[in-house]
Chain A
Amino acid sequence: MKTCLVVDDSSVIRKVARRILEGLDFQIVEAEDGEKALEACKRAMPEAVLLDWNMPVMDGYEFLGNLRRMPGGDAPKVVFCTTENDVAHIARALHAGANEYIMKPFDKDIVTAKFQEVGLL
Chain B
Amino acid sequence: MTPSDYEYLRKFLKERSGLDLSADKQYLVESRLLPLARKSSLPGISELVEKMKGGASALTAEVVEAMTTNETFFFRDKIPFDHMRETVIPALVQARAARRSLRIWCAASSTGQEPYSIAMCLKEAGHLLSGWRTEIVATDLSQAVLEKSKAGIFSQFEVQRGLPIQLLVKYFTQNGELWQISPELRGMVQHRQLNLLQDFSHLGVFDVIFCRNVLIYFDQNTKTNIFERLSRMLEPDGVLALGAAESVVGITNTFKPYPDRRGLYRPNIAPVIRVGASTLVPQTLRAVAAAR
Residues in chain A within 8 A of chain B (CB atoms) = 85-87, 90-91, 94, 100-103, 106, 109-110, 113-114, 116-117
Most buried by A among B160, B162, B166: B160
The CA-CA distance from A86 to B174 in the complex, in Å, is 8
The CA-CA distance from A99 to B60 in the complex, in Å, is 47
B166–chain A nearest beta-carbon distance, Å? 7
B139-168: contact bitstring with A at CB < 8 Å (1 yes, 0 no)? 000000000000000001100111011101
Most buried by B among A90, A103, A109: A103
Measured between beta carbons, the chain B residues less than 8 angstroms from A91 are 169
Contact partner of A116 (CB less than 8 A), chosen from B78, B160, B165, B169, is B78
The CA-CA distance from A94 to B165 in the complex, in Å, is 9
B199 interface contact, C-beta 8 A: no
- Closest chain A residue to B176 by CB distance? A85
A83–chain B nearest beta-carbon distance, Å? 11
**Besides the contacts A113-B73, A117-B164, what 8 more A-B pairs have beta carbons closer than 8 Å?**
A86-B174, A90-B165, A90-B169, A94-B165, A94-B166, A102-B160, A103-B156, A109-B161
B177 interface contact, C-beta 8 A: yes
Q: A85-B177, A86-B174 are in contact. Are A114 and B166 (CB under 8 A)?
A: no
Q: List 5 A-B contacts (CB under 8 A).
A: A100-B164, A106-B160, A110-B157, A113-B162, A114-B160
- Closest chain B residue to A85 by CB distance? B156
Contact B174–A110 (Cβ < 8 Å): no
Measured between beta carbons, the chain A residues less than 8 angstroms from B168 are 90
Measured between beta carbons, the chain B residues less than 8 angstroms from A101 are 165
Contact A110–B78 (Cβ < 8 Å): no
Chain B interface bracket (under 10, 10 to 19, 20 to 34, 35 or more):
10 to 19
- Closest chain A residue to B160 by CB distance? A110
Contact B174–A87 (Cβ < 8 Å): yes
A22–chain B nearest beta-carbon distance, Å? 21
- Closest chain A residue to B74 by CB distance? A113
A60–chain B nearest beta-carbon distance, Å? 15
Contact B156–A113 (Cβ < 8 Å): no
Measured between beta carbons, the chain A residues less than 8 angstroms from B164 are 100, 117
Q: A87-B169, A94-B169, A116-B78 are in contact. Are A103 and B174 (CB under 8 A)?
A: no
Ranked nearest first, the 6 interchain pairs of A and B with the lowest CB-CB distance are A101-B165, A110-B160, A113-B161, A113-B162, A100-B165, A87-B174
A67–chain B nearest beta-carbon distance, Å? 18
Measured between beta carbons, the chain A residues less than 8 angstroms from B156 are 85, 103
Measured between beta carbons, the chain A residues less than 8 angstroms from B165 are 90, 94, 100-101
The CA-CA distance from A94 to B167 in the complex, in Å, is 12
- Closest chain A residue to B179 by CB distance? A87
Measured between beta carbons, the chain B residues less than 8 angstroms from A85 are 156, 177
The CA-CA distance from A55 to B27 in the complex, in Å, is 46
B75–chain A nearest beta-carbon distance, Å? 9
The CA-CA distance from A116 to B164 in the complex, in Å, is 10
- Closest chain B residue to A79 by CB distance? B165
B44–chain A nearest beta-carbon distance, Å? 33
The CA-CA distance from A113 to B156 in the complex, in Å, is 14
- Closest chain B residue to A106 by CB distance? B160
Measured between beta carbons, the chain B residues less than 8 angstroms from A113 are 73, 160-162
Measured between beta carbons, the chain A residues less than 8 angstroms from B160 are 102-103, 106, 110, 113-114
Measured between beta carbons, the chain A residues less than 8 angstroms from B157 are 110
Measured between beta carbons, the chain A residues less than 8 angstroms from B166 are 94
A11–chain B nearest beta-carbon distance, Å? 24
B79–chain A nearest beta-carbon distance, Å? 11
Measured between beta carbons, the chain B residues less than 8 angstroms from A114 are 160
